[in-house]
Amino acid sequence: MLYDLISERHAPPYQISSPSDAYAVLKRYANARTERFLVVLLNGAHDVISTRIITVGLLNRTIIHPREVFRPAIVENAAAMLLSHNHPSSRLEPSQEDLAITKRLQEAGELLGIPVLDHLIIGRSGFISMVERGLMTVR
């Protein structure tokens, strides 16, 4: 498989109701030395099904394609997903590439019926939520 299972929750369910909840699931990757792109798969109640590393990139870049991002969501019957990647530099401001891939993945999610609820950029200094920053809207 092209993606690795990094956590699977069986009981009790962990529900995501805010970006802070999502960060609690993802913060262990904040200090990674290379960029990682992750997805958190959610059921209809927004309980975490699993968290997956989709790609591991270079120091400050990774290649993302909707095919790889949505494969685990389809296989695991996810109702929605959260996107995340770390910035090894710990500068949390999204790049133009970050914004472009977020838009592309959100459009793919609409087509597949798996909404992308947020995209968190994480680093040693914390996280930002693109939804909270007004950089994306949930449709």
Tell me the pLDDT tens digit for each residue of 72-89: 999 999 999 999 999 988
Q: What is the reported pTM? A: 0.88
Residue 63 confidence (pLDDT)? 82
| Fold of domain 4-129 | Cytidine Deaminase; domain 2 (3.40.140)
Distance CA 49, CA 42 (A): 5
Q: What does the block give as tokens for 123? A: 């680093």
**Beta-strand relationship, 116-123 and 80-86:** parallel
